[in-house]
Amino acid sequence: MGRVQGKVAIVTGAASGFGAATAKLLVKEGAQVVGTDKNADALKALSTHIGNGFTPLAHDVTKEADWARVVDETMTRHGRLDILMNNAGVFGSGAPQDLENISFEEWRFVNDVNMDGVFLGCRAVIPAMAKSGGGSIVNISSIAGIRGTSHIVAYGASKGAVRQLTKSVAQHCGFKGYKIRCNSIHPGMVRTPLGNDVLRFNWGDEEKGAAARVKGVPLGEFGTVEDIAYATLFLASDESKHITASEIVIDGGLTGAG
């Protein structure tokens, strides 16, 4: 029997990166997964690759009505909801993000997806999860949500907000007796499309940036999308039934090394 056998999950940003890897793993471990993304074509391709157990839905996480539709379709199709991976996110448009030069438009763009999208997702799934007898919300933050990020102030602030919101959601659901847990994952450098955006932004070249950044990782290598997928699987499963309001840092020791 799989580790999440019989559970139903929504995974946002499922077309690539952490979302795609997690969707595959959850299906492999017995879950029915509704994968959402703005990139409908990539979702279709993923659906063909995963096969049974995966349902693709186009979804803009910044739209309240989209969240209502996704939750409604999930409940109509499967009759329950046990897991949400709030994974959809952006790094930015490539415009400056230092405090003196960032535009308000850039600030709002990054926070609209990374912060407001996570808030809307948490709020949207609580009634369905409570009706299902409980569940697990996994919010993807970043090590940028833990330490200062003066050169990428919007991204860091959005991920810090996710960290704090996670604890508030966990506290609310716990005291309400909903049996809904909420935890955050904080990846370091992983070579996803977003991760490569970070490298290009900071160093101008992906490979040059990767060579420079990996020198600061005590384990001597970057993480992989599977590292994040397996952490999500653990938090989504009953193996973590007494873990809530917690954070898992997956960065090869980068933040711990100073």
Query: Active-site positions?
Result: 155
Q: What is the DSSP letter of 13?
A: S
Q: How many helices (H) and strands (E) does the chain have?
A: 9, 7
Reported as half-sphere exposure (CB side, CA atoms, 13 A), residue 40 has a value of: 4
Q: What is the dihedral of CA 224, 228, 230, 234, to 10 degrees?
A: 160
How many Å apart are CA 1 and CA 66, to the nearest integer?
Answer: 33
How many Å apart are CA 233 and CA 243, to the nearest integer?
Answer: 13
Cα 124 to the center of its chain, rounded Å: 16
DSSP state letters, 96-154: -BSTTT--HHHHHHHHIIIIIHHHHHHHHHHHHHHHTT-EEEEEE--GGGTS--TTBHH
How many Å apart are CA 191 and CA 199, to the nearest integer?
Answer: 9
User: Which residues, in sequence order, are CB contacts of 132 under 8 Å at separation 6+?
Assistant: 8, 80, 81, 82
How many Å apart are CA 17 and CA 88, to the nearest integer?
Answer: 10
How many Å apart are CA 135 and CA 249, to the nearest integer?
Answer: 22
